[in-house]
Structure 1
Amino acid sequence: MKNLITLFAFILLAANAQSQTLSQKEITGTWLVQSVENSSSNPKMAAAMANAVINLYADNSFEIKEKEPGGTAYSYTTTTHKNATWNYNASTQTITTTRSKITFKVSKNGEKVFFTDENSGLKFEVVKPI
């Protein structure tokens, strides 16, 4: 009986952990930064990334577009290098990029998705607007 309870608890924990991971298909697309946490670790980057757009295209090309200060609601400037690419490691839940050398740790808490920049420590709450 004790082994059965232990097995049941393990299955519940494994199912919960699995539901909090994202596949490459789920990661691919356009992400809008909703909020930035830990902004004191890099205030300049935090300000630049507020309302930024992160594009992770299906062809593995990658770009970040920052909202232009004083621009219209749809005025963005691309800030990543031309021909930048991305790769996703589902087992570690990390997105790595070329050229800009950004590494995002992907996490999910309930319905909220977060990209944490491992270099700066900034944590971006992101949503797919489309």
Structure 2
Amino acid sequence: MSQLTKFILIDDNEIDTKVNLNLLKIMDVADECVGFLSCCPALDYIKENLNLYENHKCIILLDIQMPEVDGFECLEKYGDLPDSFKNNTQVYFLSSTIDENDIKRAKDNPLAVTILEKPLDVFVLKKHLGLD
């Protein structure tokens, strides 16, 4: 499969982050996969490396329930990033939440494509990326 894009994974669960990064590498859909355990370092990384993302599609997989800054707050901060970045970026919430309010809020958020369930399902992700 050809290289598609860059992935940024933001999830406070270190094991989930490692597993999902390895899964993305095995899927061979990205030329870069980076992971962060919280929102602020991820946003700092994006701001410091905007030039790397100018001509690349970027997929952000964002956990909802995180201790310092939850996924919804993180997405608000993401909204402040330059349009040149956001126009090439798709955000997917990635969560194991069963809270109906969180699920509705994630699906209704205009900055996110949808919510994907944990554990990350390769076939579901490929379908959303148009690679099935």
Asked if Structure 1 and Structure 2 have the same fold, meaning a TM-score greater than 0.5 normalized by the shorter chain, the answer is no
Please report the TM-score for the alignment, with normalisation by the length of structure 2.
0.30
Please report the TM-score for the alignment, with normalisation by the length of structure 1.
0.30
**Larger relative strand fraction:** 1
Larger radius of gyration: 1
**Larger relative helix fraction:** 2
